[in-house]
Amino acid sequence: MDARDRLRLYLEQRRELGESEFVLDSLPLEEALRLIGHKGAPSAGTPTPAGAEATRPRSPRDEPATGGNWKDALKAIGAEETAPAAKTKKPAASARAAAPATSVAEPTPAEPTPAEPTPTEPTPTEPTPTVGSPAEPGTGIVVGASRRASMDGPLAALASLDDVARHIAACTACELYKSAKNSVPGEGNPQAGFICVGEAPGQTEDETGRPFVGRAGDLLTKILEAVQLKREDVFICNVLKHRPPGNRNPAPDEIKACSPYLLRQLELLQPRVILALGTFASQTLLQTALPIGKLRGQVHRFHGVPLIVTYHPAALLRNPAWKRPAWEDVQLARRIYDSAVQG
């Protein structure tokens, strides 16, 4: 590995830890990556797409742990087949804390390099096991009480998903109903144990009254099929049940108005696992501001239900490099689902 590769690896690791700048003569981290020719860095003057996740995913392992022909599965969800990532050595913690004082091509020779960890063992500074590895995923955030605790209020009297959908269609608890063409309560199998939750309906969803249609919906269908799940076998919905104007981010009062509907849907469905799609849905459900890169690879709990975080299909269309990490996330969710069914 030459000096350029070592510096690129170092900068990528700093970004994975949530840092946005790396002091090198006041040079931002993304600009440094661009200057050394890193293809994943945005070009100068290019804004980050609205709603795109800011955290770059970790490099995937050579082989998912669930078995099977993973290359075929990657092709099935539209991911490019890439060569396995080369094993690299990580800089020591002391080296991470200090910015290189020499030129880009010549890092400081005194940087110590620890022994390379085995692929299935996390390093001391990154305790969360890699998704898809045989290691047990880390315990994540816990939100709410056990799902056995019934909710109070008028929604508790809604006895079916159809009842919830009719109630949502007549809802005026926030201002979204005024600009929306249709409510989008969700759709799928009423007995589904696998639930996909996104952020909010988009324009096509608003026009049709169905969640996850269009290109992003097609990709979600392919991802589910790659783990032997048909769209009609799962239940798909969003945090918000009406489209925010212009696809803007949901407002706090809108989330507050719609959340009881999602909770009642989950009570009726009694799911075995929830797959949270995208940064906003994940942060909303888990009540956190942590980036999606730090929420992945853990088993969270939402009112007693295991919850796995992954990238939104629309983000995968913009960033093909995230398709394989998303594939690993869906595999983890499928393993949890299978374990619950067998148990």
The pLDDT of residue 111? 43
- What region does 18 belong to: left with phi over 0, alpha with psi -120 to 50, or beta? left
The region of weakest confidence among 55-64, 191-200, 230-239, 318-327 is 55-64
Tell me the mean pLDDT in the region 234-252.
94
For 225-293, the DSSP string reads HHTT--GGGSEEEES-SSPPGGGPPPPHHHHHHHHHHHHHHHHHH--SEEEEESHHHHHHHHT----HH
- In angstroms, the Cα distances linking 120 to 21, 69, 124, 325 are 30, 20, 13, 16
CA-to-CA distance for 20 and 24, rounded, in angstroms?
13
- In angstroms, the Cα distances linking 223 to 160, 187, 195 are 28, 17, 14
Tell me the mean pLDDT in the region 35-61.
45
N-term to C-term CA, the chain: 47
> Looking up tokens 């390379």, which residue turns up?
116
- In angstroms, the Cα distances linking 110 to 8, 100, 102, 114, 245 are 18, 10, 12, 13, 55
CA-to-CA distance for 85 and 325, rounded, in angstroms?
13
Per the CB < 8 A criterion, the answer to whether 273 and 195 are in contact is: yes
Residue 14 pLDDT exceeds 50: yes
CA angle 141-285-246, nearest 5°?
145
- In angstroms, the Cα distances linking 342 to 106, 193, 272, 303, 335 are 55, 12, 11, 22, 10
The two tokens of residue 296 are: 């992945």
Q: What is the mean pLDDT of the chain?
A: 75
Question: Mind listing the pLDDT tens digit for each residue in 167-178?
Answer: 999 999 999 999
Residue 52 pLDDT exceeds 70: no
Tell me the mean pLDDT in the region 85-111.
42
Q: Which residue has the higher pLDDT, 137 or 177?
A: 177
The two tokens of residue 152 are: 């109070």
Percentage of the chain modeled with pLDDT above 90 = 53
Using 50, 70 and 90 to split pLDDT, how confident is the model at 144? confident
Question: Mind listing the pLDDT tens digit for each residue in 147-197?
Answer: 555 677 889 999 999 999 999 999 999 999 999 999 999 999 999 999 999
Tell me the mean pLDDT in the region 233-239.
97
The two tokens of residue 20 are: 């946005």
324 phi and psi, to 5 degrees? -70, -45
The pLDDT of residue 62? 33
Tell me the mean pLDDT in the region 28-44.
57
What is the b/e burial string over 161-183, where b = at least 16 CB atoms within 10 angstroms of the residue's CB? beebbebbeebeebebbeebebb
Residue 216 pLDDT exceeds 90: yes
Q: What's 88-154 look like in SS3?
A: CCCCCHHHHHCCCCCCCCCCCCCCCCCCCCCCCCCCCCCCCCCCCCCCCCEEEEEECCCCCCCCCCH
Tell me the mean pLDDT in the region 218-241.
96
The two tokens of residue 33 are: 């990556």
Residue 203 pLDDT exceeds 70: yes
CA-to-CA distance for 234 and 192, rounded, in angstroms?
5
The pLDDT of residue 153? 82
Burial class (CB in 10 A: 0-12, 13-18, 19+), 294: middle
Tell me the mean pLDDT in the region 142-148.
75
For 157-197, the DSSP string reads G--SHHHHHHHHHT--SSTHHHH-SS----EE-TT-SEEEE
> Looking up tokens 């803007």, which residue turns up?
248
